[in-house]
A and B are shown apart, each in its own frame.
Chain A
Amino acid sequence: RKEVEQDPGPFNVPEGATVAFNCTYSNSASQSFFWYRQDCRKEPKLLMSVYSSGNEDGRFTAQLNRASQYISLLIRDSKLSDSATYLCVVNLLPRITGGGNKLTFGTGTQLKVEL
């Protein structure tokens, strides 16, 4: 089983639609969670962190379910500019301080927003 799994998509949605992505992670000791966005042939960019209580940033809402080990991202009122690949990212904290803050990236879910 992969450490972080995502549906690769693509998700093709009309402008204005609401779309949701899910991501599952295998290690229950994972501590921190993020959604990154990656445009074609560009570097990943942090979209938002995911907090235990859930959090919202404008049209984007992130949720964490530790019991089921999944993370979700909801995008409301999709824009053409939202077209990108969305990466689910998990941090397994080191047992020893200073172990590197290593992140594990999912392979991403591709979103295409169409007119």
Chain B
Amino acid sequence: NAGVTQTPKFRILKIGQSMTLQCTQDMNHNYMYWYRQDPGMGLKLIYYSVGAGITDKGEVPNGYNVSRSTTEDFPLRLELAAPSQTSVYFCASSYTGIRSPGRGSPQHFGDGTRLSIL
């Protein structure tokens, strides 16, 4: 069972280049998320999706775009890479909604993409 798969694992970009970080999950989760984690810092939510065709901004969406054409895939696009976007990017997915009061759904993470912009 693969869970959440991210590609590539590492990438170096030049300023101004664009790229797409891929994320796919095989758990039939409706909810998917993109986070970034800077060194020594917590995770910050970039974008999330509650289902195919539906996306919404998180805490730090500027400079990124997402799409969700299928339940399985949630790619993250950087259009004009900037040094401030050097980070580790994690994709996650979760079960839809809340099972019962106080019993929220945990998120399952991919193993990350380490991105450096020079």
Contacts and interface: CB of A to CB of B under 8 A. Distances in A.
**Do A and B form a real pair?**
yes
Interface of A: 4, 31-32, 34, 41-46, 49, 51-52, 87, 91, 93, 97-103, 105-108
A101 B31 contact: yes
Contacts, number: 68
B43 A44 contact: yes
Given A32-B102, A100-B48, 7 more contacts: A43-B90, A46-B107, A98-B50, A100-B50, A101-B31, A101-B98, A103-B107
A69 to B, nearest CB: 14
Interface stretch (B11-19, B73-81, B109-117): B109-117
A63 B48 CA distance: 29
A27 B96 CA distance: 22
A43 B112 contact: yes
Interface of B: 31, 33, 40-43, 45, 48, 50-51, 56, 58, 88, 90, 94, 96-98, 101-112
A51 B102 CA distance: 7
Contacts of A52: 102
15 contacts: A32-B103, A32-B105, A41-B88, A42-B111, A43-B109, A44-B109, A49-B103, A51-B102, A97-B97, A100-B50, A101-B97, A105-B42, A105-B43, A107-B40, A107-B41
Contacts of B88: 41
Contacts of B48: 100, 102
